[in-house]
């Protein structure tokens, strides 16, 4: 069962970094979004604090607003794919220094998933390998939603997650996996 605050604000940091890289600021992204006023001075401070979690509805509102502001039809994938390039993982970026390479990063997706959301589980079905001829990583992952989550409601999360996974090689200066070759849920 998922908790009510099921989305880590690390996701919002990624969205915010991507929008800011394209538009120069994120002022309109957080308009009229509720936040705990007793602890934070504005919604942006709260929603970009990577130690906090928010509801799926708040996450979805910000994500859709960001897409509308940017106007990119592939926004959700491109936003996720920007995470490695922009270094918007927050403190989790430091973990990549401990990994031996992209294979190790992909193997640790189940761990990182638990630090980003409480709506689904990720399992590695086929460990990652590098296909030299095609110059890309290949892995098969299974994404299973928690019983109380409706996968149809999270249709914007699929391209976002594929973008994040495809950006893992960029942490080591390698090219990202193309969108059509990014690992897809099984």
Whole-angstrom distance, CA of residue 181 vs CA of residue 176: 10
Residue 70 exposure: Cα atoms within 13 Å on the Cβ side: 26
CATH architecture of the domain formed by 7-181: Alpha-Beta Complex (3.90)
Answer for the pair 21, 82: CB distance below 8 angstroms, yes or no: yes
Q: How confident is the model at residue 1 (pLDDT cuts 50, 70, 90)?
A: low
Whole-angstrom distance, CA of residue 181 vs CA of residue 172: 19
**pTM for the predicted model, two decimal places:** 0.86
Answer for the pair 30, 20: CB distance below 8 angstroms, yes or no: no
Is the pLDDT at 182 greater than 70, yes or no? no
Per residue in 13-47, pLDDT (tens digit) is 999 999 999 999 987 899 999 999 999 999 999 99
């Amino acid at each position: 069962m998922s908790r009510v605050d099921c989305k880590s604000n690390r996701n919002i940091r990624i969205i915010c970094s991507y929008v800011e890289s394209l538009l120069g600021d994120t002022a309109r992204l957080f308009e009229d979004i509720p936040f705990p006023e007793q602890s934070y001075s504005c919604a942006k401070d709260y929603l970009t604090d990577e130690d906090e979690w928010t509801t799926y509805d708040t996450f979805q509102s910000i994500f859709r607003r960001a897409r509308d502001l940017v106007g990119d039809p592939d926004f959700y994938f491109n936003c996720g794919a920007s995470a490695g390039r922009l270094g918007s993982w927050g403190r989790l970026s430091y973990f990549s220094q401990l990994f031996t390479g992209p294979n190790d990063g992909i193997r640790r997706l189940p761990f990182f998933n638990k630090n980003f959301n409480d709506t689904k589980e990720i399992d590695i079905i086929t460990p990652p390998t590098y296909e030299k001829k095609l110059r890309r990583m290949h892995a098969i992952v299974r994404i299973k939603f928690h019983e109380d989550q409706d996968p149809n409601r999270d249709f914007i999360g699929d391209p976002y997650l594929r973008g994040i996974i495809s950006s893992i090689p960029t942490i080591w200066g390698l090219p990202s996996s193309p969108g059509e070759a990014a690992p897809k849920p099984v």
